[in-house]
Each structure stands twice: as C-alpha cells, then as structure tokens.
A = this chain, B = another copy of it.
Amino acid sequence: MEIPKDHPRYKSLMTRERLAHMVEEGLVTPTGLISHGRGEAYDYLMGEKSIPPALEAEKVAAAYLLRAKNPVVCVNGNAAALDPENLIALAKAVPAKMEVNLFHRTPERMEGLISYLESKGAENVLGREPDCRIQGLNHDRALCTKEGIFDSDVIVVPIEDGDRAEALVSMGKVVISIDLNPLSRTSCKATVPISDEMTRALENIIRFIGELRGHDEIILKVIEQYDSSANRRETVECICESLMSGFGSGDD
C-alpha cells in the first residue's frame, strides 16, 4: 500500500506498514499492532525522545545487568519486529542470554521468531523447548526454559504483559521493563520501569553498559540512589508538561 510522500507523518506511517507486513509473515499478531499504537500515543506525549527520567532508569538497568549472575533479554513478537539488531546487541554487550517468550504462543510463531533472530546474528536463542513455567500464570504464556528465564536473576522485558511482569517480580527477579506507558501494570510492577521507545532505550542501556563497566562503586551507587516510584512520577510530570504546552501535536 502506497503512502503519499507529502504526508506529514510519512516516517511513522512507514514503520506502521513494516509492522503490518510482519503480521502477514506471522511474526507479529494483529493485537500486537494495537499494542504498538498504544505505545505510539505515549511516545508522542514524550515528544518522541528519551526524557530525563528514562535516561536515569536506563542507567540503572545497565548497572543491574552488569552485576547480574544470569541475565536474560526476553523477546516477544513486537520487540523482534521493531528492532532485532539492538536486542541482539544488548545481549552481546552484557553478555546476556536471549529467550523468546510469547503471549500468543504457537510452535510455528516460536520457530519463526527464533529463526528470524538467528538470521539477524543471534546465537543460542532459548525458548524452543520450554521445560519450566513462570509461577502464578496459567495459559501457555507461562512457558519458559530453566536455564533462561526461570533461573535468571535480572531480566529485560520489552513490551511485556502486566501479568507476566508481576509474576516475574514475585519470583524474586530484578525486572527491567521497557514500556512507554508509565502507568501500565508492567511499569507499576517492574523493579526498573523504563518509559521510552524500545530502540532508544536499548541504545541508551548499551551506551551506559560501556560507561559503567569496571566501575563497581559507581554501579552500586547508581542502584542505591534509584527510586522507581519517584522516577515514574517524574515521567508523568514530563508528559503533562508536554501535553499542556501542546507539544505532542504530531499525531494524525
């Protein structure tokens, strides 16, 4: 479908067309598109840039990942479709394992997504053969691997379902969420909720990992000084300032 090039939101429309194409390929679910739309709305409200509280949370995420014993980057359909390269780059930078974990799980989608990540350079992607369940969840979305999600101590969950984020926290894990809505259940429950667009968040975390690595005292300080509730409140204040100034007027 052709988008008129003079449309003021041409770039954003093209990203949407790309995601829509991934639905045809079976990697993204139709409801995953609705979820992307919700994210877009919050991104407009933040001016489509990493606001200061997001940058702070991204630094804290880097600090936790550097201290982790078994860090895991969790990948679902939307995340893989939006930016496989940076998900793989983060896993390599930490280094962390990668595991595909789907809300709408079928063997075909699982295989399709893992193959897609492998075609982009990912190695040893977990998830094909789940042998454990996330406690407190029914439904196939509970399935995971013991060596990955189940035994992880620090886990990055981009664009996560609220139930699953909560269940992972209940299992005692440090949950780093990337979710543009600062008031979502995922953001409310996560240890380190990051309200930022996924590509920007991943690139910032990777940069902070490079800056913090080897500086153990600073890493500890970054973690100690962080207050997730205060951070979320700052995020909401940034959104309100943006709204009141009419800044988020780019939507169509």
Q: Give chain A's interface residues, CB within 8 Å of chain B.
A: 1-2, 4, 6-9, 13, 16-17, 19-20, 23-24, 29-31, 33-42, 44, 104, 138-139, 161-163, 181, 183-186, 188, 236-237, 239-240, 243-244, 246, 248-252
Contacts and interface: CB of A to CB of B under 8 A. Distances in A.
Contact of A104 (B1, B24, B31, B34): B1
6 A-B pairs with least C-beta separation? A37-B37, A20-B30, A41-B41, A33-B33, A34-B37, A162-B252
Contact of A243 (B2, B7, B30, B183): B183
A188 B246 CA distance: 10
A8 B252 contact: no
Given A41-B181, A162-B252, A240-B240, A34 B16 contact: yes
Contacts of A162: 8-9, 251-252
Contact of A186 (B19, B31, B40, B252): B252
A23 B19 CA distance: 14
Nearest to A235: B243
A163 B38 contact: no
A7 B36 CA distance: 20
Nearest to A160: B252
Contact of A17 (B31, B35, B138, B250): B31
A16 B4 contact: no
Given A2-B139, A236-B246, 12 more contacts: A4-B138, A6-B138, A8-B162, A8-B185, A20-B30, A34-B34, A37-B37, A38-B38, A39-B41, A183-B246, A185-B251, A240-B244
B38 A35 contact: no
A31 B249 CA distance: 20
A163 B41 contact: no
A229 to B, nearest CB: 10
Contacts of A181: 41, 44, 251
A4 B139 contact: yes
Contact of A163 (B19, B244, B252): B252
Contact of A252 (B23, B24, B161, B237): B161
Most buried by B among A2, A6, A183, A237: A183
